[in-house]
Amino acid sequence: MAFALCDLTVTSTAFNQLGSIPKAHTGEAENTSPQLTWTNVPDGCKSFAVICHDPDAPRVNADGSFGYVHWLVYNIPYGIHQLEANNTLYTSGINDFGLGGYGGPMPPKGHGIHLYYFWVLALDEELDLPEGLNMQELLAKIEPNLIGMNRLVGSYQRD
């Protein structure tokens, strides 16, 4: 994947950078996606994608990827710079729970603190991608159009 870290800023009303993700946004409670906002969008941006990934999950996949994908949402138009909590808008990919939509943090008990990367990816085209892509498929399709990305990182430890 292209290296496209930029000045895009990702924030949430639910938690701060490296802050604890509230239980309401985890698999142990309401399991609702947190609110996200992004600013400092790169010039030439026409759409966005959002990925939530836990690289601390003790899992290596057959394709060589690692960790656990909790959320994929894409085909977000340029004029949108925020996803409300419990977002069900735009196009959902398939997370590693095998479902569309958001699946909140739920690391193995006793595994300690996990970090959850909420990536916002800025694209130079509106791609009209199909529903149900997994993370590898999504990244393969958007990589030629990726012009910027950044993340908000939250933490969670299961009781």
Q: What is the number of other CB atoms lying within 10 angstroms of the CB of residue 158? A: 17
Residue 116: name the closest of 90, 92, 99, 96 by CA.
Answer: 96
Spell out the per-residue pLDDT of the chain, length 159, in tens. Answer: 456 789 999 999 999 999 999 999 999 999 999 999 999 999 999 999 999 999 998 888 777 778 999 999 999 999 999 999 999 999 999 999 999 999 999 998 899 999 999 999 999 999 999 999 999 999 999 999 999 999 999 999 987
pLDDT, position 61: 76
> Which segments of the chain are extended strands (E)?
9-11, 36-39, 47-54, 68-77, 82-83, 91-92, 114-123, 146-156
Amino acid at 72: L
Strand (E) or helix (H) holding 11: strand 9-11
pTM of the model: 0.95
- Structural domains of the chain ordered from first start: 9-156 (3.90.280.10)
The pair of structure tokens assigned to 108 is 């193995």
